[in-house]
Chains A and B, each alone.
Chain A
Amino acid sequence: MATTTAKIQFMSTDLVSDTLDLSTVMTLYTSGTTTGMSKTTGLARYSTATTSETKLLEAGDYTDSKAHKLYIKNTSTTRSEYVQITTGTIASGSTTIGRLYGGEWGLIPWHGASDINVIQSVTGITIEWMLFYE
């Protein structure tokens, strides 16, 4: 059985009056089990020549209501360049989940029922992403 862990660590010297150091680790299991997640897309790099919304993940390719995890990073070193993440069908209207500005990353628990799309603020931004799925 494959073992995949993801650790997150927040550190701050002065966001609050005492130093903040918070970390936690999760093991990626398939939904409702203690069986390790066994599939991944691998770490991909994606960029488009458009600032229009484009599809990153097709919901139809994955089973709904599962414990998929999407790691996604905006690799731009220009702070103002963003990647907007949306969910839903582009043609019929999607909704925004969030934005990654230059250098930021997110780990999104994705249920697999709706497409994941991206909008780049400028062309040429490279997005790194990886899906762990079942």
Chain B
Amino acid sequence: MASTTVRIVITSDITADVMNLDTTATLTKTTTTTSIDDTTGLSRKKITATSKGASGEVTLYTADDFAAIPYLYIKNTDTTAGNRIYIYDDTTSGDPLQFQLDAGDWGFIPMHGDKTYKAYATTNPTTIEFMVMGQDQ
């Protein structure tokens, strides 16, 4: 049985006393204690689209490709402040914006799995790294 964990450590001196938060979750098939089996692997792609729907978008996840709940890791690898990546929901009417990643930002989202996510950027090209983990179907 695969054993996959994801840990986050947040350290901050925003508050008067330094804050440290450290927690780990085991990634399992939904409602079970059986670990996940499948992953897309870490992908690295150049986004060349600079507007929603334009040629050169990168599809991060296609709706229902994995059984619920797939886990999505996303990172904007750009190092120039202001070079943003926008990720929108291409399944819901109106294609609402879901996430915005500034240069160097990452996110970890346990998805519902029923929405297609696509990415465009402010600058052509901008490289995104992403990985989906879960149970393929």
B-binding residues in A (CB < 8 A): 2-16, 20, 22, 24, 26-29, 31-34, 37-40, 42-43, 65, 67, 69, 71, 73, 79-80, 84, 87-88, 95-101, 103-111, 113-114, 130, 132
Contacts and interface: CB of A to CB of B under 8 A. Distances in A.
- By secondary structure, the B interface counts as strand
A106 B110 contact: yes
Contacts, number: 169
Shortest 9 CB-CB contacts between residues of A and residues of B:
A4-B12, A32-B82, A12-B4, A111-B100, A80-B31, A7-B9, A2-B14, A9-B7, A98-B111
Interface of B: 1-15, 19, 21, 23, 25-26, 28, 30-33, 35-37, 39, 41-42, 68-69, 73, 75, 81-82, 84, 89, 92, 96-102, 104-112, 114-115, 133
B13 A108 contact: no
Given A2-B14, A32-B102, A111-B100, A16 B41 contact: yes
